[in-house]
Amino acid sequence: MVLTADEVDYNEQTGDAEARGNVHFSHPGHKEEVYAAKFRYNLNTEKGTFFQVHGTVSSASQAGPRVLTTNEPFYFQGEIAHKIKGHYVVFDGFVTNCKMPSPWWTLRSARTTIVPGRYALLRSSVFRLRKIPLFYAPAYYKSLERVPRSSGFMTPNIGNSSQRGRVLGESFFWAPSRSYDLTLGGTWFSQRGFAHQITGRGRPTRTSYFDAYWFAMNDRGIGAGEFRRKQGGRMLTVNGATELPWGFRGVVNVNYLSSLEFRLAFTETLNEAILSEVHSAGYVTKTFSSFFLSAGLIRNENFQTTERDDTIVIRKLPSIEFNSREHELVGGRAPLWLTLDSSFDLLGRRQAGFRTRQLAERLDFFPRLSSHLEWKGFHLVPTFGLHETYYGEQLRSDGTVSGQNLRRAAREVSIELSPPPLARVFDGRFKHVIEPKLTYRYVAGVPDFSRVLRFDERDLLNNTNEAEISLIQRLYGKRRATGEVRELLSLELWQRRYFDTDFGGALVPGRRNVLASTVGLTPFAFADEPRNYSPVVSVLRLQPRWNYSIEWRNDYDPRRGKLVNSGLTADATVRSFGLSLGHYAVRSTPLLTPPSNQLRALVRFGALNKRGFNTGFSTVYDYRVGIMQYATTNVTYNTDCCGFSVEWRRFALGPARNENQFRLALSVANVGSFGTLKKQERMF
């Protein structure tokens, strides 16, 4: 400790010291700097009093997800401050982490206890922005640690919504230990009702974790009288993993949603609101040599509409798989590899007007033998496989389920030929490479495709006689100054030729057909009638520099003479400026895929911790119906210790939701945010 002043009196017998005039007390080891007009201190008892005091103590920059941070020390000022060993008690003063002498915010209190490096506790405090009082807290606790974990009430959520009325929310954070925490919260909407949420996290061991989130809304409904529609519901998410004895690993991912309308009405992000699938799985797995063993419980639910119970539910209770990647049986110039894919499942499927047994058996066994032959740059990979599948149930011709067993025995032959790539170098700086590939595939032994129940991709196997041609062109560039080589442009093209136009009878004209011969080519369905060839699928990527790129994916169907699916995205980043554009269109027949024509855009200038103005705009516009489904405009101004955010948000998601939201937030560096704009929903 170092004490300097204009005058210092010290009594060696009692240990009393008194300093007057320009008093400066410092503790470099604890990063304490205190200034006062007068100071009395006893070195034996380590107790003293500062008069007209101000100073700083260490405060770690508590960086976190979407938390404004600062490296400024924790500043305090008061009329009197008692120093009692390692902490201070300040009376009639304030604290801040802004630059002095004109702080943006202060937290004034009649009594403040500061333990450097640990915490600050204020009694009867008033938060002021400049000199304007914003709110009062009977007690306020602020951790000064780098990774604080202390229980307590969190900042309240107060606001207003045109659809939900006045909003009042509060949460309590409980941290019983360094490895577990729990957050309990509730929000009251004056026009809709009460919502509550629970978040729990745990890290029991080095190799295990779990995260859980529960949200429920007791909705009074929207509308009036007999037309009042309740949109409340519940949702649950649980994720976790752990290492188990004997080399096994356990993973759980549970998702539950009571209704799609609830998600559309109360979720605050577009991507989550429009997600119509809910997947849950829990499994244990083990890897040894080139083999994999796993056993799991799986439930998938697909919401067809916002109507209650209009869903497709598929269960696997359980699903046991024993697989192997390429396992070498014979080496040499003509090697031989064995690959195995097998499973045993107890399955169930339920949807409106259709239901299987609760536990329908399915046993699938698919071994494959493959080799690799090479000659003067030509690569030939032949593969022969056998599909043996047993079903405990099957479909009748009228669409009902029969308890009669079904056996599927199919054989598959494929040959992949890769000629040597063609390459040419231009001016020592550019290199053009052409990579062709030809794949032939023949499957026979699936005469009863229409009788197979659909649970997953294993049930889509069909008879086929097809060939796929692909061509990849790449353009590389080299910087002469550094010798760096990077891919500037690539164009991928592929198409399948079908020698069996109805896929062995699996194709039903006049309806949407999803087969193994189509899903592996493009995610968009295109088989509604017999055909000799698939659409031409292409992907064009352009990235002249690391900070901007363009990608165009499209399917051109020669049979229809047009682009049936298209997705164009462009991204650019220049310092603090970011731009992302996307156009997505589906122009196929509605029998296959509902038409779509949407534009997505995101323009952003700034960053979370950038000082000054930061602004951004994002939108999703639907040309087909002529409405802006979603839009967000955000303006944020960050000072050295706090930030101000204003956001306008627009939802137009059909009859389930049509509203405008205005949100405000005040972010205090190293503390958190106040207002109706939650940090996980902010653009900055």
338-374 residue pLDDT tens = 999 999 999 999 998 888 988 999 999 999 999 999 9
Report whether pLDDT(160) > 80: no
Task: Check residue 66 and give its pLDDT.
Answer: 65
Confidence label for 208 from pLDDT (cuts 50, 70 and 90): very high
Model confidence pLDDT, tens digit, residues 652-670 = 887 778 878 788 888 888 7
Model confidence pLDDT, tens digit, residues 236-266 = 999 999 999 998 999 999 999 999 999 988 8
Report whether pLDDT(681) > 80: no
Kindly state the average pLDDT of the residues 171-198. 92
Contact 5, 22 (CB under 8 A): yes
**Alpha-carbon distances of 279 from 232, 256, 320, 567, rounded to whole Å:** 21, 8, 18, 26
Global pTM exceeds 0.75: yes
Mean pLDDT for the chain overall: 90
Question: For residues 306 and 260, what is the distance between their CA atoms, to the nearest angstrom?
Answer: 5
Model confidence pLDDT, tens digit, residues 14-70 = 999 999 999 999 887 778 899 999 999 998 888 999 999 999 987 765 555 567 888
Task: Check residue 227 and give its pLDDT.
Answer: 72
Q: What percent of the chain has pLDDT over 90?
A: 63
Give the amino acid at 199: T
Residue 593's nearest CA partner among 566, 621, 619, 553 is 566
Report whether pLDDT(680) > 80: no
Report whether pLDDT(156) > 80: no
Q: What percent of the chain has pLDDT over 70?
A: 97
Q: How many CA atoms lie within 13 A of 438 on its CB side?
A: 7
Q: Write the DSSP symbol of residue 173.
A: E
SS3 226: helix
Kindly state the average pLDDT of the residues 521-532. 92
- What are the strands, taking DSSP E only, across 499-606? 536-545, 548-557, 562-574, 577-586, 596-605
Length of the chain: 684
For 291-351, give the DSSP string: EEEEEEEEEEEEE-SSSTT-EEEEEEEEEEEEEEEEEEEE-SSS-EEEEEEEEEEEEEEEE
Tokens of 24: 């400066």
Report whether pLDDT(482) > 90: no
Task: Check residue 65 and give its pLDDT.
Answer: 59
Confidence label for 143 from pLDDT (cuts 50, 70 and 90): confident
Kindly state the average pLDDT of the residues 587-616. 92
Tokens of 531: 């055909």
Question: For residues 231 and 337, what is the distance between their CA atoms, to the nearest angstrom?
Answer: 56
Task: Check residue 69 and give its pLDDT.
Answer: 82
What the chain holds in terms of domains, given with CATH numbers, is: 2-147 (2.60.450.10), 149-309 (no CATH), 621-684 (no CATH)
SS3 617: strand
